A = this chain, B = another copy of it.
Amino acid sequence: MHDRKHWILRIVQEQPVGNQRKLQRELGKHGIRVTQSTLSRDLKELGLVKVAGDGGYRYVLPDEVRGADVLAGKRILKEFVTEIDHAGHLLVVKTEPGNAQPVARALDRMQWPEVVGTVAGDDTLIVVLRHPSQVQPVTEKILQMVGRKKIA
């Protein structure tokens, strides 16, 4: 039984597993036969969670959860960003009231190299860039994701 959990962790890390049935099949390839019921309990015990990403879902370890969905991030930007401005090497992004936080998280998750970090208030967030010269490209990149509605 320890074996099984061991395999579960391994399989889940090696390939995207979107549901328990698939996990069940994969385990089968290793000669391990179990029912979905047991897997449900195993996953619960292992603390694995199903996260959205790439359109579909996938089970991951809590640690991996971070980078798991750039796509959802894009949607969030599209959803909440209303305006972009800048000053020096800072980008000032305005959002729908109360949503600066999610947008900041979304940007963080993208892990862009030019971005040093973000700080979010209620409807405004500041994106700190490494150099003023990156203001244009990054703004561009964000606008792209937002859908080029030319905002600001």
- Tell me the A residues contacting B by CB distance below 8 Å: 2-3, 5-6, 9, 43-47, 49-52, 61-63, 65-66, 68-69, 72-73, 75-76, 79-80, 85-90, 92-94, 96-102, 104-105, 108, 116-126, 128-131
In the complex, the 6 A-B pairs of residues with the closest C-beta atoms, listed nearest first:
A119-B121, A62-B65, A92-B117, A44-B52, A117-B124, A120-B121
Contact B85 A72 (CB under 8 A): no
**Residue of A50, A61, A117, A126 with highest tally of chain B CB at under 10 A:** A117
Contact B79 A45 (CB under 8 A): yes
Other A-B contacts than A2-B97, A63-B65, A126-B128, 16 sampled, CB-CB below 8 A, are: A5-B79, A6-B97, A9-B101, A46-B76, A47-B68, A47-B73, A49-B51, A51-B62, A62-B62, A62-B66, A85-B116, A87-B116, A117-B126, A118-B121, A121-B121, A126-B126
A65 / chain B contacts, CB cutoff of 8 Å? 49, 62-63
Shortest Cβ gap from A89 to chain B (Å): 6
Known: A45-B72, A62-B51. A125 touches B119 (CB 8 A): yes
Known: A46-B76, A65-B62, A98-B6. A92 touches B116 (CB 8 A): yes
Contact check: which of B72, B79, B89, B117 meets A47 at CB < 8 Å? B72
